[in-house]
Structure 1
Amino acid sequence: MFVIISDIWLDNEEAMEKLTTVLDVFENEEVVPSLFVFMGNFSSHPCNLSFPSFSTLRSQFGKLGKLIGMHQRLKENSRFLFIPGPDDAGPSKALPRCALPKYLTEELREHIPNAIFSSNPCRVKFFSQEIVFFREDLLYRMRRSCLLPPSAEETEDSFEHLVATITHQSHLCPLPLVVQPIIWNYDHALYLYPTPHTIVLGDRSKQKAFKYTGITCFNPGSFSSDGTFVAYRPCNQEVELSSL
């Protein structure tokens, strides 16, 4: 089982209490999840030039490491994957985004040596399956840049329209470069060809799952805002929408 959580605000006490509850539950499961995917944003404030304190954020990552370390079975048997969000610290807003800076995650690494800090987007190979993780508020940005409103003949659901669009475009972010800059030499990291088995779109919009042309797609929702997350079983591509 994979547990995917998006928008973990480390500076929000309520969000950390929710995360503690989630970890407590899975710590007591007979078989613990093989992978936890923590997607940004990791702060309720954008990490820009006006960000109050990066040293505080560093210590908050350290507290997260201590929290995970208190759950011994999870620490020993699960892997932890961290994917930066659109407002997390980084050299630029261009895609793909590089991993979280080592300065911020150094204390966490001391508690969780097997933690993985990846780029955004990120691809995970699970036996024969390819799973793509992408953290971006894509639904809002795509609708804002839309020239013509989506047709409501087949469905009125905006998430289903989004999934159909990126699948047909074979690209995770088919926005103009003036709207979303892309590091051209790494544009291939956003390709959806060959088609993956599963696409995880971390978005602040409402939690949703949709299967389209054989591809399992879902949005785990915003954990800090509404307590939603997803338990995913890759063996049968089952998506369990969960919330606290």
Structure 2
Amino acid sequence: MLSGFASCQPIAFVFCGNFCSTAAPENEKNLIAVLISGGFHDLAEIIKEKTQVQNQLAKTQFIFIPGPDDPSLSGFLPKPRLPSYLVDVFMDIPNCKFSSNPCRIQYASREITIIRQDIIERMSRNSIHVPSDAVDIANHFCRTIASVGHLAPLPLNVSPVLWQMDHCLTIFPLPDLVVVADRFQSFAINQHGCLFANPGSFARSGLDFYVYYPALNEVELSRIPS
């Protein structure tokens, strides 16, 4: 992916967790941290190679947003940035940024909100009316989020929220783009002038990802060739 964009430097790459696909029981959470730390070490070397040695992507930002199962001090939303003991290998790369979940980005006049949470399935399980197919589910989900102006409109026992930080999950007025990084199938739907986009799971989709064009406020589905 980095090689493919080297000749046309994007503003940013946004990486959303979970950063380890291996599940571990509660008493073996240290294993996940070790695996993530090792993977980040390899990724840091690749980014250094591109940005410092080959002088490519030197102005591109690399943004990391924690997933629901990544190591954290809290299992609630909003989720704090990845702990420093996992990401210290990036400390000498100035264009690597570690954000909370959700994350808000301002680029020129565009307002972008990104949340990494498997919220669509939870909302479907707790819905009074469940649409008949995936397209309808995506449409109903986007309409609901746009109408309530909140990224986690579920009871606290279903989607725990730090109540004193609940304002971080509001999206009123609506931004230009809301990226819902969910394992549900990919979609891009416009609701009330806001573009809702879900790239889906990078690993499960065959290495699919979205490219965002701020000038057009549009996303384009791309894929890394096998």
**Counterparts of 1:234 and 1:46 in 2: how far apart (Å)?**
36
**Counterparts of 1:74 and 1:196 in 2: how far apart (Å)?**
31
Q: 1:201 to 1:156 in 2, by over 3 A?
A: closer
Partner residue in 2 for 1:90: 72
Q: Return the offset for 1:157.
A: 2.1
**Counterparts of 2:166 and 2:108 in 1: how far apart (Å)?**
25
Secondary structure of 2:79's aligned partner = coil
Partner residue in 1 for 2:138: 159
- The correspondence of residues 23-42 of structure 1 with structure 2, limited to 5 A, is 23-27=2-6, 29=7, 31-42=8-19
- The correspondence of residues 224-235 of structure 1 with structure 2, limited to 5 A, is 224-226=203-205, 227-235=207-215
Q: Return the offset for 1:49.
A: 3.5
Partner residue in 2 for 1:145: 126
Letter in 2 for 1:96: P
Query: Is residue 44 of structure 1 aligned with residue 25 of structure 2?
Result: no
**Higher relative contact order by CA 8 Å / sep ≥ 6: 1 or 2?**
1
Partner residue of 1:221 out of 192, 200, 206: 200
Secondary structure of 1:26's aligned partner = coil
Structure 1 consecutive aligned stretches of length 4 or more whose deviation exceeds 4 Å: none
**Counterparts of 2:132 and 2:204 in 1: how far apart (Å)?**
30
Query: Is residue 119 of structure 1 aligned with residue 100 of structure 2?
Result: yes
Partner residue in 2 for 1:128: 109
CA RMSD of aligned residues (A): 1.8
Q: 1:75 to 1:109 in 2, by over 3 A?
A: farther
**Counterparts of 2:189 and 2:116 in 1: how far apart (Å)?**
17
Q: Return the offset for 1:158.
A: 1.2
Letter in 1 for 2:126: S
Partner residue of 1:179 out of 158, 163, 178: 158
Q: Note the residue ranges of structure 1 that are not aligned, 5 or more in a row.
A: 1-21
> Greater shift after overlay, 201-210 or 41-50?
41-50
**Counterparts of 1:194 and 1:65 in 2: how far apart (Å)?**
37
- The correspondence of residues 191-210 of structure 1 with structure 2, limited to 5 A, is 191-210=170-189
Q: 1:149 to 1:57 in 2, by over 3 A?
A: closer
Structure-2-length-normalised TM-score: 0.90
Q: Return the offset for 1:46.
A: 4.1
Q: How many positions carry a matched residue from both structures?
A: 218
Partner residue in 2 for 1:18: none
Letter in 2 for 1:116: K
Q: Return the offset for 1:228.
A: 1.0
Q: Return the offset for 1:150.
A: 4.1
Q: Contact 1:59–1:107 at 8 Å: present in 2 too?
A: no
Q: Return the offset for 1:141.
A: 1.0
Deviations 1:54-88 (A, max 9, x none): 23421221111111122134441200110001111
The percentage of aligned residue pairs carrying the same residue is 39
**Counterparts of 2:60 and 2:98 in 1: how far apart (Å)?**
15
Structure-1-length-normalised TM-score: 0.84
Q: Return the offset for 1:24.
A: 1.2
Q: Note the residue ranges of structure 2 that are not aligned, 5 or more in a row.
A: none
